[in-house]
Structure 1
Amino acid sequence: MKFRELSIGGAWEVTPQQHGDPRGLFMEWYRFDHLAAAVGHPLRMAQANLSVSAKDVVRGIHFADVPPGQAKYVTCVRGAVLDVVVDLRVGSPTFGRSEFVRLDDVDRRAVYISEGLGHGFCALTDDATLSYVCSETYNPTGEHAVHPLDPDLAIDWPTGTPQLSDRDAAAPTLAEARERGLLPDYQACLRYRQALIDS
């Protein structure tokens, strides 16, 4: 299992080692000890989700209040998606920047997204299926979204016909979310991460 930190601090691409023979294959898609060694603390697994999307569906950009935030460990078990991490932490040196990782059922990579970062994806195939674990359970009053097609984010989605949920289509732009005080504070995120490391 190989970990590569992305250009946005707090996000990692994870490449598993696959063991295959004529019968099929086996791999470890998650190891708490390897992830903890890479990110500095264990991932508290509070909830596991499965998401199935038709081709051209765009989901995101979703994030949660920090503290406690919601870290995610995401992999694609069927089909393919372009996974997007967005730095929404006000005061971060990479604020507003996006990074992309293709997740699919061939290389079987995963992405770890720490608290305070935004997450979204575009389904590149029909029945694109994401499996992911979260550090906190769903909290409707503490979870938010930024419009995925916001020109200020300048995300080059790989579709000319993005399909959005009603929630995502009504989400504020990055500037509007900042004006409303919805975005996480970078220093608060760093303090929260340090508390996880120290605990």
Structure 2
Amino acid sequence: MVQRAALYCRVSTADQSCERQERDLLAFAERAGYDVVAVFKETASGSKDDRVERGKILTLVRARQIGVVLVTELTRWGRSTTDLLSTLQELEACGVSVIAQTGLQFDLRSPQGKLFASLMAALAEFERDLLRERIRSGVASAQERGVKFGRQPGVRFKADRYQARMLKLREEGCSYRQIARDLGLSKNTVMEIVHRHR
């Protein structure tokens, strides 16, 4: 039975073109005997997970309208290990595999696919740990240089700028809600500043 396929072509910058990828994938699909039902092309960074055209393929997958996704290489589908693993698992749940033009097939039901998924899961965890470690290291380094994180107590630039006007309006009998609306602040901020100066 001929499998219905979607082609996915992606380039990272606007000065690049998807033409070569599309041409190569169409030739590959013809040689392999796939019925190409749609071609999706987009310009987007591989590190972004929310790509519009790839999202359209996932919609076709969920609707069971295709059986395979063809890409020139796996990095076209996604660069982040976590993203790759989650999308490949979603495809696998719908019985769809990703096939790279190199001939590598990412079908997570096969022994090769299961091994690949395990390796990717380990890499994803390693990536998350590295990121966490870099963040902690960066925060510690910044704190050593005297950088303070989070809201500093007593510093409300916008609210403090309007303080005198706020107190005057309150003395004139304006409600907290009116003052907040006039000054573009929240009612709670107005209440807090008025109560602080009583």
Give me the TM-score of the superposition, normalised by structure 1. Answer: 0.25
Bigger RCO (CA 8 Å, 6+ sep): 1
Larger Rg: 2
Bigger proportion of residues as strand: 1
